[in-house]
C-alpha cells in the first residue's frame, strides 16, 4: 500500500515537473508576445507606442497563417466602408507630382519632424515597377507598368472606366478593402497621404498622358 | 618619377568608368544589379570592420570601469573567457541572469558585473557614442571570432524555446501607420526593395545572408552596425516606435532568426553598401 | 592620437602586397550637420610608405578619398621579415604612423 502511494506521489511529482517543462499554450504565448511588444518599445519623435495598438486588420494578419474566411470578409468589408471618395468626384491630379511622390520614401518615421501628409512620399518604387524608365524598383508588389493602358482606360471620365478608376482609388486609400492582409500601406485611411497626393498618384497610373501608359 | 598611387588611382578610375559604361549601355535591371554586385565584390578587400575588431579585442583585455577589471572572465555561454564559437550559439539562456540574452545584452551584463559600468546608462546611450560604441566594437570582435562557423543556437532550455516562440510572434506582428511587420519584407522568396535583395528570415536564407551577415560595416554611411543597430533601423523604417536596446523583443527576434539560420555559415563582420 | 592602422604585408613572388586600413573620418568639408552648419574639412593629406626605412611611396590625398580609407600597393624586392612603415598627416596637422613586418 505504501509502495503504491509512494509510486503515485512520484508520478504526481513527475507530472508537476513535466508541466513546468511543457511549453505554454499558444494562446498564453500570444499574450506574452503582446506584453513583450508593449514593454520593449518607447516613444521617439512622432513614433509613439500607440502605434503598437493593433486594429482588426493588423491583428488578424499577424500570424503565420491567414485569418479565417469570416474574419477576412469582415476586414475587407470594414475597410471598403472606410474609404473616403474624392471631393467633387475628381479622381485625377498631376502625374508629374505623382512620379515625385512615387520616388520619395520620406515620412512617418521617428526621425521625420512631422506626421503631416504634405511632407510624406508614397514610396511606391520601393515595392513596384511603375515607369519602366526607372530601373531601381522593388518586387514586393506587382508591376504597374502600363497600368491604365492594360485596363483599357483611354478617358477616365468615361463610364466604362469607372470601375477601374474607383478600384484604383479604393486600393490606394485602403488596400485592405480588396485583400485583408495586403502588404500595401493604407495611404488614405492611415493619413499617410492627403486627397491631392492620392489624386496625383492616380494620374501617374491612369492618365493616358502619363509616361506609365506609353 | 611615377608613383604607385598614380597607377592605383588610374586603375580605380578605369574600373569606375567600365562600370559606368556597363550601367549606361542598356538600362536593364540585370546589368544594374550586376554592376552593384561588382561594386560589392570590390569592397570585400579591406573591410573597415577590421578596425573595429582590433578595437574590440583590445577592449576585451583592457582593465576598465569602476572595478578596473577586464572582460576576460565574461561568460558568453561557453564558459568564462571562451570567445570562439560563442556568437553562433546566441541568443541563449544564462543561469546567472535567469534569462535568454543576445550578445549585446550579455556584454551589458558583463560590463556591469565585472567592470562596474551602469548597464542601463549604456543601453540609453545612442549608437556610436560613449560606451555604446565600445559595445559595438566588442560585439564586432566577438562575432568575428566565430567567422566561418555555423549557427547552432541551443534550444534545450524551456526559456530558449519560449524565446523562439515569442520571436516568431514579434516577427509577424503588424503595426504602425503602414501595417508593416518583419514578414512584410522578409517572408517571401525572391523579393527586393528597390534594388536591395531581401533574405527570407522564416527559414535558413543561406550562408552569409540575413542573420549570418551582421554585424557589418556599412560603406554608405561609414558606420559599424551591430545586430541591435540593424534591428533598430528596421523598426525605424517600419515606422514603429523605438525598440529598447537589448530589449526582450529584440532578443526574441534574434532567437527566432538565429534558430531558423541553423547550419548557415556566419561571415560576420561583413561589409555592406 | 588616432586609432591604429591595420597593415598586412604578404610576399608574393618577387614583391610584397601591402594592404592598409586607416581609421579616419575623411570629412570633405561639404557636409552640413542637422543644424545646417558646415562640418569642417578633416582629411588625410600626405601618406608615406617606407620599406626598411627607405621611402618607397608617397601620396597626396584630398577630400575625394572616403572614410576609413583602404590602400593597397606592391613593393618590389620586399622579403619576409622586412619592415613596412605607413605614416599619414592630415589637414589639421595630426599624424599617425604604424608598422608591420612582411610575412
pLDDT at B22 over 90: no
Contacts within 8 Å (CB) and 24+ apart, B1-6: B3/C57, B3/C58, B3/C59, B4/C57, B4/C73, B4/C74, B5/C47, B5/C57, B5/C58, B5/C59, B5/C73
| DSSP output for A177-189 | GT-TT-SS--TTT
pLDDT band, very low/low/confident/very high, at B161 (cuts 50, 70, 90): very high
pLDDT value of position B70: 98
CA atoms within a 13 Å half-sphere pointing along the CA-CB vector of A205? 26
Catalytic residue ranges of B:
234
Q: What's the pLDDT tens digit per position in A22-36?
A: 789 999 999 999 999
Task: Compute, in degrees rounded to 10, the torsion defined by CA atoms C67, C69, C70, C74.
Answer: 160
What totals of helices (H) and strands (E) does chain B contain, helices first? 10, 8
User: Which helix (DSSP H) or strand (DSSP E) does residue C15 occupy?
Assistant: strand C15-21
pLDDT value of position B18: 45
Chain C residues touching residue B46 (CB < 8 angstroms):
19, 21, 70, 72
C-alpha cell at C102: 612582411
Determine the distance in angstroms separating the CA of B122 from the nearest CA of chain A, rounded to an integer.
16
CA atoms within a 13 Å half-sphere pointing along the CA-CB vector of A93? 18
C-alpha cell at B146: 566565430
The model's pTM: 0.88
φ and ψ of C71, to 5 deg: -125, 135
Chain B residues touching residue A57 (CB < 8 angstroms):
174, 179
**CB contact at 8 A, B56 and B139:** yes
Q: Tell which of A18, A39, A55, A62 to mutate to test the B interface (max B CBs under 10 Å).
A: A62
Residues in chain A: 214
Instruction: Give chain B's largest Cα–Cα span.
Output: 70
Which of A40, A62, A60, A58 minimizes the C-alpha distance to A49?
A40
Outline where DSSP puts E strands in B95-182. Answer: 99-101
Contact A23 B252 (CB under 8 A): no
Chain B residues touching residue A125 (CB < 8 angstroms):
194
Residue-range domain boundaries for chain A: 1-40, 87-213
pLDDT value of position B39: 77
pLDDT band, very low/low/confident/very high, at B13 (cuts 50, 70, 90): very low
**CB contact at 8 A, B269 and B53:** yes
Instruction: Write the ipTM.
Output: 0.90
Chain B residues touching residue A30 (CB < 8 angstroms):
169
Task: Compute, in degrees rounded to 10, the torsion defined by CA atoms C39, C45, C50, C54.
Answer: -150
- pLDDT average, residue stretch B197-221: 95
- Find the CB nearest B51 among C58, C68, C71: C68
Going by their DSSP bridges, the two strands C54-60 and C70-76 should be labelled as unpaired
Angle at which helices B103-113 and B227-237 pack, to 10 degrees? 130
Taking chain C (103 residues) in consecutive chunks of 10 residues, what is each chunk's mean pLDDT? 87 93 94 92 97 97 93 94 97 96 95
Determine the distance in angstroms separating the CA of C63 from the nearest CA of chain B, rounded to an integer.
14
- Quote the distance between the C-alpha of residue B62 and its chain's center: 24
First to last CA, chain B: 36
Contact C72 B48 (CB under 8 A): no
d(CA C35, CA C41): 17
Taking chain A (214 residues) in consecutive chunks of 10 residues, what is each chunk's mean pLDDT? 58 50 90 98 98 98 96 98 97 98 98 96 98 97 98 95 98 98 98 98 98 97
**CB contact at 8 A, B216 and B47:** no
pLDDT band, very low/low/confident/very high, at B262 (cuts 50, 70, 90): very high
- pLDDT average, residue stretch B119-140: 97
Q: Which CATH number fits domain A87-213: 1.10.10.10, 1.10.760.10, 2.40.50.100, 3.40.50.970?
A: 1.10.760.10
Using alpha carbons only, give the angle C98, C102, C103 rounded to the nearest 5 degrees: 130
Contact B249 A190 (CB under 8 A): no
Q: What letter would DSSP give residue C2?
A: P
d(CA A197, CA A172): 11
pLDDT band, very low/low/confident/very high, at B11 (cuts 50, 70, 90): very low
pLDDT value of position A2: 61
Which parts of B153-201 fold into alpha helices (H)? Answer: 158-171, 182-186
**What distances in angstroms separate CA A29 from CA A4, A50, A159, B91, one per listed residue?**
37, 22, 52, 19
Going by their DSSP bridges, the two strands B216-218 and B270-272 should be labelled as parallel
d(CA C33, CA C27): 12
pLDDT value of position C34: 81
**CB contact at 8 A, A193 and A184:** no
Burial of B239 from C-beta contacts in 10 A (0-12 / 13-18 / 19+): buried
* CB-based contact, B175 to chain A, within 8 Å: yes
Dihedral sign, CA of C71, C72, C75, C79?
positive
Which of B40, B54, B102 minimizes the C-alpha distance to B76?
B102
pLDDT value of position B38: 81
Contact B249 A126 (CB under 8 A): no
Q: To which residue does cell 536596446 refer?
A: B245
Which of C6, C97, C103 minimizes the C-alpha distance to C44?
C97
**Mean pLDDT of all residues belonging to chain B:** 90
Q: What's the pLDDT tens digit per position in B227-239?
A: 999 999 999 999 9
Searching chain A, which residue's CA lies closest to the CA of residue B193? Answer: A138
User: Which helix (DSSP H) or strand (DSSP E) does residue B23 occupy?
Assistant: helix B4-24
Dihedral sign, CA of B155, B160, B165, B170?
negative
- Quote the distance between the C-alpha of residue C9 and its chain's center: 13
**CB contact at 8 A, C40 and C25:** no
d(CA A167, CA B223): 44
pLDDT band, very low/low/confident/very high, at B264 (cuts 50, 70, 90): very high
Residue of higher predicted confidence among A15 and B69: B69
Q: What letter would DSSP give residue C7?
A: E
Amino acid at each position: 500500500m505504501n509502495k503504491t502511494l509512494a509510486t503515485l506521489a512520484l508520478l504526481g511529482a513527475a507530472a508537476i515537473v513535466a508541466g513546468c517543462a511543457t511549453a505554454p499554450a499558444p494562446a498564453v504565448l500570444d499574450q506574452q508576445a503582446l506584453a513583450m511588444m508593449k514593454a520593449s518599445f518607447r516613444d521617439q519623435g512622432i513614433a509613439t507606442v500607440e502605434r503598437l495598438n493593433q486594429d482588426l486588420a493588423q491583428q488578424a494578419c499577424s500570424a503565420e497563417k491567414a485569418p479565417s474566411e469570416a474574419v477576412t470578409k469582415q476586414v475587407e468589408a470594414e475597410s471598403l466602408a472606410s474609404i473616403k471618395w474624392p471631393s467633387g468626384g475628381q479622381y485625377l491630379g498631376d502625374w508629374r507630382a505623382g512620379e515625385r511622390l512615387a520616388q520619395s520614401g520620406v515620412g512617418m518615421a521617428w526621425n521625420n519632424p512631422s506626421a503631416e501628409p504634405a511632407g510624406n512620399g508614397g514610396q511606391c518604387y520601393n515595392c513596384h515597377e511603375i515607369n519602366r524608365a526607372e530601373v531601381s524598383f522593388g518586387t514586393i508588389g506587382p508591376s504597374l507598368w502600363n497600368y491604365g493602358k492594360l485596363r483599357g482606360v483611354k478617358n477616365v471620365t468615361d463610364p466604362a472606366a469607372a470601375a477601374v478608376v474607383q478600384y484604383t482609388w479604393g486600393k490606394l486609400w485602403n488596400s485592405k478593402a480588396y485583400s485583408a492582409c495586403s502588404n500595401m500601406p493604407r495611404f488614405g485611411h492611415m493619413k499617410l497621404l492627403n486627397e491631392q497626393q492620392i489624386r496625383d498618384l492616380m494620374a501617374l497610373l491612369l492618365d493616358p498622358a502619363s509616361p506609365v501608359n506609353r | 618619377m611615377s608613383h604607385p598611387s598614380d597607377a592605383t588611382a588610374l586603375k580605380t578610375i578605369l574600373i569606375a568608368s567600365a562600370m559606368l559604361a556597363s550601367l549606361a549601355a542598356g538600362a536593364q535591371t540585370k546589368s544594374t544589379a550586376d554592376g552593384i554586385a561588382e561594386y560589392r565584390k570590390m569592397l570585400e578587400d579591406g573591410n573597415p570592420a577590421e578596425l573595429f575588431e582590433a578595437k574590440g579585442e583590445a577592449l576585451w583585455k583592457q582593465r576598465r570601469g569602476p572595478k578596473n577589471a577586464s572582460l576576460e572572465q565574461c561568460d558568453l555561454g561557453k564558459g568564462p573567457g571562451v570567445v570562439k564559437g560563442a556568437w553562433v550559439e546566441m541568443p541563449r539562456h544564462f543561469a546567472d541572469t535567469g534569462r535568454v540574452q543576445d550578445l549585446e545584452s550579455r556584454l551589458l551584463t558583463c560590463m556591469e558585473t565585472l567592470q562596474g559600468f551602469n548597464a542601463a546608462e549604456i543601453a540609453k546611450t545612442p549608437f556610436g557614442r560613449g560606451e555604446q560604441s565600445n559595445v559595438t566594437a566588442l560585439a564586432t570582435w566577438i562575432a568575428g571570432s566565430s567567422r566561418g562557423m555555423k549557427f547552432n543556437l541551443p534550444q534545450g532550455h524551456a526559456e530558449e524555446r519560449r524565446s523562439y516562440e515569442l520571436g516568431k510572434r514579434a516577427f509577424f506582428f503588424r503595426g504602425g501607420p503602414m501595417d508593416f511587420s518583419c514578414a512584410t519584407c522578409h517572408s517571401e522568396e525572391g523579393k527586393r526593395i528597390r534594388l536591395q535583395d531581401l533574405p527570407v528570415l522564416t527559414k535558413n536564407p543561406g550562408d552569409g545572408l540575413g542573420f549570418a551577415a551582421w554585424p557589418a560595416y556599412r560603406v554608405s554611411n561609414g558606420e559599424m552596425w551591430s545586430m541591435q543597430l540593424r534591428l533598430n533601423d528596421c523598426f525605424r523604417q517600419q515606422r514603429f516606435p523605438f525598440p529598447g536596446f537589448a530589449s526582450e523583443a529584440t532578443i526574441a527576434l534574434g532567437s527566432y532568426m538565429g534558430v531558423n539560420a541553423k547550419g548557415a555559415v556566419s561571415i560576420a563582420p561583413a561589409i555592406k553598401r | 592620437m588616432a586609432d591604429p592602422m591595420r597593415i598586412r604585408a604578404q610576399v608574393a613572388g618577387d614583391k610584397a602586397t601591402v594592404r592598409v586600413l586607416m581609421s579616419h573620418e575623411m570629412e570633405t568639408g561639404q557636409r552640413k550637420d542637422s543644424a545646417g552648419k558646415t562640418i569642417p574639412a578633416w582629411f588625410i593629406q600626405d601618406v608615406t610608405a617606407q620599406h626598411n626605412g627607405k621611402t618607397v611611396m608617397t601620396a597626396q590625398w584630398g577630400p575625394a578619398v572616403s572614410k576609413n580609407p583602404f590602400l593597397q600597393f606592391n613593393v618590389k624586392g620586399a622579403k619576409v621579415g622586412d619592415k613596412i612603415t605607413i605614416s599619414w598627416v592630415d589637414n589639421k596637422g595630426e599624424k599617425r604612423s604604424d608598422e608591420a613586418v612582411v610575412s
